[in-house]
């Protein structure tokens, strides 16, 4: 190869000369920019430059794609970056970095997480909800370019009409963008975090089962404890929330149903909606409630007797407490609060929460779990629920 000349001159080459050069070698244009003619006849540009005290050769592309003028422009950009202490090589790598679209990112998150999910229905629902509601809006957008207004466009159409679905889509969107940030594809805040400020307050259309947001339940329990309701009523309400049981299941509870040593409450089939025996694992606070309730219940067979020891507390007792507190939710709605908390803040499989609520499971895959009642798994879930509720009740 002929020896390079003119390193200390500027703009030595011309477009015509670049075209005419055919002898293999390195030809200087000035300021570290060289045209390399390979033995094959191919021509390419390199920039020889000092980066953070070390000499580097940076490829700028082939002549077929990068003209002399473009090579000079790139070389100037990289020299300025190097003089300011930057790293042109890192900048070049970053410029070539392939950023996934939302659709690709969602698929990657789903693939990574599904191995830890045991519920086949949940595995499919997780990606299907995003495919149905998010992909048509932001599927082709790069994850680093999606912002809160884009998330709002996804959620706004279903926020009021399909509130539970919308909440789950929001949670799954948040998971995708957390992954994108951890993988180096995003910087700054998760765009889902601020979207609530742009959405209207959801209203539960089923007035009979109006639920309290699970974030508000710990403070509610603390407030119940200082009302002037009877101790039995307050203990019953707390037990209902801790166990996620129905009103009738709680108020009709009999002392004989509780095994304090094994920490299990066995509700007979005739008192269950599904007409199946339901075992409830009793966590620490539940045992404390039971001991208090038994101590004040006298000779009644009921755990929470009314004024007449032969009868339980009125089924209106919880409604009266809520009315006096001027809170427009229902006692039954706390089951929904529990269900939302389990879905949005824990990694417990869906069927564990469904069993805790004694729901009938129609899906055959989930129904297979009915061979046992997963009591100890449910005990772990209810222990987490107790811990969450205690954040503001101590």
pLDDT of the residue at 136: 94
Whether the predicted pLDDT of 7 surpasses 60? no
What is the H or E stretch that residue 46 is in? Answer: strand 43-51
pLDDT grade for 3, boundaries at 50, 70 and 90: very low
User: How far is the first Cα of the chain from the last one, in angstroms, to the nearest whole number?
Assistant: 82
Judged against a pLDDT cut of 90, whether residue 289 lies above it is answered with yes
Sign of the four-CA dihedral 120, 124, 126, 129: negative
Within this chain, domains 15-96 and 209-389 share the same CATH topology: no
Distance from chain centroid for Cα 156: 18
| Separation of alpha carbons 352 and 338, rounded Å | 12
In terms of CATH architecture, what is 15-96? Answer: 2-Layer Sandwich (3.30)
Distance CA 203, CA 178 (A): 28
Q: Which among 79, 61, 80 is positioned nearest to 71, based on CA atoms?
A: 61
pLDDT bucket at 208, cuts 50 / 70 / 90: very low
Rounded Cα distance between 298 and 303, Å, is: 9
What are the structural domain ranges in the chain? Answer: 15-96, 102-202, 209-389
Q: Are 117 and 362 in contact (CB under 8 A)?
A: no
Say what the pLDDT of residue 206 is.
43
The pair of three-digit structure tokens given for residue 317, joined into one six-digit string: 């007792």
Burial class (CB in 10 A: 0-12, 13-18, 19+), 323: exposed
**How far apart are the C-alpha atoms of 215 and 238, rounded to whole Å?**
16
The Cβ of residue 189 has, within 10 Å, a number of other Cβ atoms equal to 12
Just give the CATH number of 102-202: 1.10.150.130
Q: Rounded distance, CA 74 to CA 47, Å?
A: 9
List pLDDT tens digits, range 116-135: 766 676 788 889 999 999 99
Phi, psi of 46 (to 5 degrees): -135, 155
Cα 392 to the chain's mean position, in Å?
Answer: 24
Kind plus residue range of the DSSP H or E element containing 47: strand 43-51
Which pLDDT does position 5 carry in this prediction?
Answer: 47
Domain 209-389, second-level architecture: Orthogonal Bundle (1.10)
Q: What is the rounded average pLDDT for all residues in the chain?
A: 85
Matching residue, tokens 């926020």: 159
The mean per-residue pLDDT over the stretch 176-194 comes to 86
pTM above 0.85, yes or no: no
Query: Does the pLDDT value for residue 50 go beyond 80?
Result: yes
Task: For 258-284, give one letter per residue: b (16+ CB within 10 A) or e.
Answer: beeeebebebeeebbeeeeebbbbbbe
């Amino acid at each position: 190869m002929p020896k390079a000349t003119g390193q200390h001159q500027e703009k030595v080459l011309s477009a015509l000369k670049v075209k005419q050069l055919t002898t293999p070698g390195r030809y200087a244009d000035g300021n570290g920019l060289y045209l390399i003619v390979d033995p094959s006849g191919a021509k390419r540009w390199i920039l020889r430059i000092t980066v953070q005290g070390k000499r580097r050769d940076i490829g700028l592309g082939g002549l077929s794609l990068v003209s002399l003028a473009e090579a000079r422009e790139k070389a100037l950009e990289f020299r300025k970056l190097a003089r300011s202490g930057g790293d042109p090589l890192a900048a070049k790598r970053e410029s070539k970095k392939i950023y996934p679209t939302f659709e690709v990112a969602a698929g990657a998150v789903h693939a990574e997480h599904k191995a830890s999910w045991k519920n086949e229905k949940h595995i499919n629902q997780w990606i299907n909800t995003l495919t149905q509601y998010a992909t048509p809006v932001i599927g082709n957008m790069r994850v680093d370019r999606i912002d809160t207004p884009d998330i709002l466009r996804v959620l706004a159409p279903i926020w009021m009409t399909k509130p539970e679905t919308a909440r789950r889509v929001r949670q799954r969107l948040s998971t995708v963008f957390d992954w994108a940030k951890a993988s180096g594809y995003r910087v700054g805040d998760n765009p889902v975090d601020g979207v609530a400020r742009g959405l209207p307050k959801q209203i539960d259309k089923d007035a009979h089962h109006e639920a309290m947001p699970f974030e508000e339940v710990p403070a509610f329990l603390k407030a119940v404890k200082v009302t002037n309701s009877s101790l039995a009523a307050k203990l019953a309400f707390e037990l209902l929330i801790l166990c996620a049981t129905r009103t009738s299941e709680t108020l009709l509870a009999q002392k004989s149903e509780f095994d304090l040593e094994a920490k299990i409450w066995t509700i007979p089939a005739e008192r269950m909606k599904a007409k199946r025996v339901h075992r409830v694992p009793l966590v620490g606070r539940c045992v404390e409630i039971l001991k208090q309730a038994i101590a004040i219940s006298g000779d009644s067979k009921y755990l929470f007797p009314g004024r007449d020891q032969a009868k339980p507390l009125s089924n209106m007792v919880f409604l009266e407490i809520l009315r006096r507190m001027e809170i427009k939710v229902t006692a039954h709605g706390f089951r929904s609060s529990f269900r939302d908390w389990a879905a949005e803040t824990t990694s417990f499989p869906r069927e564990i929460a469904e069993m805790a609520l004694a729901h009938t499971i129609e899906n055959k895959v989930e129904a297979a779990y009915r061979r046992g009642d997963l009591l100890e798994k449910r005990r772990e879930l209810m222990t987490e629920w107790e811990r969450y509720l205690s954040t503001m009740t101590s």
